[in-house]
Chains A and B, each alone.
Chain A
Amino acid sequence: MVGEELFRASIGKLRRLLDQREISAPELAEYFLDRMQRHNGTLNCYITVTEEQAMEMARRAQRKIDQGDVRIWTGIPLSVKDNISTKGIKTTCGSRMLESYVPVYDATIISKLRRYGAVLLGKTNMDPFGMGNTCRTSHFGPVQNPVSSGRIPGGSSGGAAACVAAGLCAGALASDTGGSIRQPAAFCGVTGLKPTYGTVPRYGLIAFASSLDQIGPIAASAEDCGYLLDAITDYDPNDSTMRQPNCYGYTGKVGASLKGIKIGVPAVLLEKAEPAVQAAVLDAVEFYKDAGCECVPVSLPGRSYALSAYYIISSAEAASNLSRFDGIRFGSRGEGETCTEQMKSSRGNGFEPEVKRRILLGNYVLSAGYREEYYQKATAARNRIKAELENALQACDFLLSPTLPFTAPRVGVLEGDLIRRYEADAYTVLANLSGLPAVTTPCGYDGDGLPIGLSLTGRAFDEASILGAAAAFEAQFTRREAAAL
C-alpha cells in the first residue's frame, strides 16, 4: 500500500489518503507510534508517549471520517510540546519541578484539536520551562538532532523540531518566547512558525513570559504550518490578550504569485552571520528577485537593545509566573522546619540552573529602586524596536534574514558559551518583542551538511503572506533527509 514513505507525506497528502480510505486513522497512528518505538530511544524527543490515548483518538477520528465530519487535521497524528496542558496526561515543562504534574484541564488548543479528531501522539521534550536554546538541559535528558548526531537540536522546542525532522509525527505544536520554535526548526532543517502575538489562545500554555509567549506549529513545510495554524487558531474568551478572532485560511497564499512584493533585508542581520549562512540567504534573495520581488536594505538601529530588553522583560515575567511553584501544591515538597524553609528547599531542588538564573534576574530587575533602571528601560526599548519593525513593514511586505547566524553547533559548545547562545537569541527575539509573525524554512546547507534557516517576518496577523512566500521558496528547494536516523 502506501507503506514506508508515509512519514514524508504532507498533511494534505495524508488527508487525501485518509479520505480516500487508502489508510485508516488507527493505521496511520500505529505507523507513527511504530516509528517512535524505533527512533525515540536515540532521539529522546518525546517525554511522554500517549499510545493508548492516541489509538482511542484515532478510532474516534475514523468515526468522524466515516461520517464525513472532517477538518484538515482529523486523524492526523501530531505531537504537543510538554508545556501545553493536556487533561489527564503528564505536562512537565521539561522540569523536575513538574515531573509528576497531571493537569485537570485541557489547554484551549487541545480541546479544539480533540473536538475535531486530531490524534495526539505524545508530549515533546524541551528545555525546562522553555528557558534555553539547546534542548540539552531537560530533566528528561537531552534531545539528539536527527540531522547529525553530534549536533544539538536547538531549543527550547528541540523535541518538537526533532520529531518532525525524523518523521515521528506529521506535525508538531510548540511555543516560542524568544525563538523556541524557530531556532530548533532551523537547526533540524524543518519549517516553524511563530504566529503574531494574540493569534493562538494561550489558555493552558504554562507561561514562561506571558507578553512574549505564543503557540505555533513546526512541520515539514510552510503549507503544513498553515494547516496547523488553522487547527489551533480560534477566538477564545479565556485569553484576554487575543486580538484576532476566527481567522482561517492561513494557506490562502500558497502558490500565489510573488510579483511586485517588496522585501526588506536588514543588513545588520546578514553581516553578522557566518559566511555559509550569508551565502545561502543571499541565494534566497536572488530567488525572490527572480520571482518578481523587489529587495531593499533596511536598517534596524534599535536592534542593539533587543537582547537586553528581551532578557529583562522575559525574566521579570518568568520570575512572577514561576513563583507559584513552591512545593506546596506543585512539585515534591522539600524538607524544612518552617513553611519558608520548605519552599526554599522545594524550589532549590525543583528548578534547573538556567531557570534559577532567570528567576534571580527577574526578581532583581523588578525590585524597588531597580525597576526604573531596568524593567522600565527595557519596556521603552521594546516599544522602540516594535515601532522600528512596524515602520519597516509599512514600506515592505515582509523582512528577510537568516533565522540564526550559524548552523547547529556541536554538542557541548553552546551549552558552555553564554555569549554565543545570546548571539543566536539576538536574531529571533525581534519577532517576540514586536509581536510580529515569523517563519523559518531551510534555504541551504553548510559544508558539514547542516541546514541553514531562512526567516521571513511579516505584518501583524498576515501569516498567510509569509507562509505563501516560504512555500514558494520550498517548492524549488531540495531538502536533504535527516541523516542521523
Chain B
Amino acid sequence: MTVQPRIGLEIHVRPVTKTKLFCTCEAGFGGRPNTRCCPRCLGLPGSMPKLNEQAVRQAVKAGLALGCEIPSKSVFVRKGYSYPDLPKGYQITQWEDPICRDGRVELSGKKIGIFRIQLEEDAGKMIHDRGACTLVDYNRCGLPLLEIVTAPELESPEQAAAFVKELIARLRKYGIAECRMEQGGLRMDVNVSLNGGERVEIKNINSIRFMGKALRYEIGRQRELLEQGGAVSYETRRYDERQEITVHMRSKEQSPDYRFFPEPDLPPLLLSREDIAAARRELDQTNHG
C-alpha cells in the first residue's frame, strides 16, 4: 500500500537574548539551580511581566528570515495549565494574534508554508532522580521561545529533516538562535497524517535524528493500521527514545482545556513600520557581514 504522508512541525527555538522574556534575569544555561530567578520569573504574587524588547526584535527577524508577514499588532495570552514547573499556573504565550504569520520557505523548489511564529516563555525543569522528592529548577523558567508552526506540507521524514536543517541554518546565519539541541535550544512537536486522514501529534522530540526515527515509526504504524482496515484517529503520542517507538499519551477528549484569554498585564504589542524596517536592516547587515 502506498501512502502519502503530510507532516507539519511545531519547532521551539530559543532566541539569542541577554535576559529572560519578561524579567531581567540572565538568559544562561545550566549553573546552580534557582540562581537566575526573580519575583517575576518565579511568579511571586504581585509581580508583573515586562516584555524584553530584544526578544521581540529577534522574533521579528525570524519572521522576516522565513518570509512572514509582521502584523502591526499582536497579543499575548495566558494559557492555563497546572504543573509545578510553571510557577504562575499559566504560560504567557500568543494565540490568535501572533507576532509573525503566513510565511514560506523554499526547499529544493517546493514552498513550505509557515502558519505563524509566536513568542512565549519557557517553563522550569523538574528533577526526578534525587531520591524521594521531585525538585524544580526555575533557571530556565521564563526564557524566551519562538514557536514556529509550519503548514502540513512536508511529504517525507527526509523532507522534514531537510526543512529543520534549513531553518536552523537561517536562524544561525542571522544570529537569531543558536539552536543547540544539547541545551534544549531546539525542541519539536510533529504531526503526521496519511492520505488526508486524521493527524497524530508526537510531542517533545529534541533532535533531528529522533524526529526522523519517530516519523518513520509513526508512518509505519499508521500504514499498518490502514492496511488492516483500521482507521487512524486524532491522538497525541510521545517518542520513546530508548525503544524507538511512539507511545499513546492522550486522545482528543483527554486534551487539556487551556482557557486562553488576553494577558491583562501586557497591552497589545504594537510594531511600527520603523520597528520592522530596523529589524530588516539588522538582518541585511548580518547577511552581508
Contact = CB atoms under 8 A, between A and B. Distances in A.
Interface of A: 84-85, 91, 93, 98, 101, 103-105, 107, 202-207, 209-211, 237-241, 316-317, 319-320, 322-324, 326, 328-330, 339, 343, 363, 366-368, 371, 375
Q: Which 5 A-B pairs have the closest CB atoms?
A: A323-B89, A366-B259, A210-B264, A211-B264, A206-B45
18 contacts: A85-B45, A98-B45, A206-B45, A207-B46, A207-B265, A210-B264, A211-B264, A239-B48, A240-B265, A320-B90, A322-B89, A323-B82, A324-B43, A324-B87, A324-B89, A343-B82, A366-B260, A371-B259
Nearest to A203: B48
B88 interface: yes
Nearest to A330: B45
Given A98-B45, A105-B39, A317 B264 contact: yes
Interface of B: 39, 42-51, 78, 80, 82, 84, 87-90, 134, 257, 259-261, 264-267
Contacts of A204: 46-47
Contact of A105 (B43, B44, B257, B264): B44
Contacts of A328: 84
Contacts of A371: 259-261
B261 A323 contact: no
A320 B78 contact: yes
Contacts of B80: 319-320, 323, 363, 366
Contacts of A210: 264-265
A320 B261 contact: yes
A324 B41 CA distance: 12
Contacts of B90: 320, 323
A107 B46 contact: yes
Contact of A367 (B45, B84, B259): B259
Nearest to B88: A324
Contact of B51 (A98, A104, A205, A240): A240
A78 B190 CA distance: 57
Nearest to B134: A339
A431 B156 CA distance: 58
Which of B51, B87, B89, B264 lies at the interface centre, i.e. has the most chain A CB atoms within 10 A of its CB? B264
Which of A107, A207, A237 lies at the interface centre, i.e. has the most chain B CB atoms within 10 A of its CB? A207
Contacts, number: 95
Chain A interface helix/strand/loop/mixed: loop
Given A203-B46, A241-B267, A320-B78, A339 B84 contact: yes
Contacts of B39: 104-105
Nearest to B45: A206
A238 B89 contact: no
Contact of A240 (B42, B43, B50): B50
Given A320-B89, A320-B90, A368-B257, A103 B264 contact: no
A334 to B, nearest CB: 14
Given A210-B265, A317-B264, A375-B261, A326 B89 contact: yes
B162 to A, nearest CB: 36
Contacts of A203: 46-48
Nearest to A364: B259
Contact of B49 (A211, A240, A316, A323): A240
Contacts of B50: 237-238, 240
Nearest to B22: A240
A367 B258 CA distance: 8
A205 B264 contact: no
A287 to B, nearest CB: 39
Contacts of B259: 319-320, 363, 366-368, 371
B45 A324 contact: yes
A241 B263 CA distance: 11
Nearest to A204: B46
Nearest to A202: B48
A176 to B, nearest CB: 16
Given A211-B264, A326-B89, 19 more contacts: A91-B45, A93-B45, A103-B44, A105-B39, A202-B46, A202-B48, A207-B45, A210-B264, A240-B266, A241-B265, A316-B261, A317-B264, A322-B89, A323-B82, A324-B45, A324-B88, A326-B84, A339-B134, A367-B259
A329 B39 CA distance: 13
Which of B42, B49, B78 lies at the interface centre, i.e. has the most chain A CB atoms within 10 A of its CB? B78
A83 B265 CA distance: 17
Given A316-B261, A320-B261, A324-B87, A104 B44 contact: yes
Contacts of A320: 78, 80, 89-90, 259, 261
Contacts of A202: 46, 48
A422 B251 CA distance: 42
Nearest to B78: A320
Nearest to B42: A329
Nearest to B23: A238
Contacts of A329: 42, 87
A456 B102 CA distance: 49
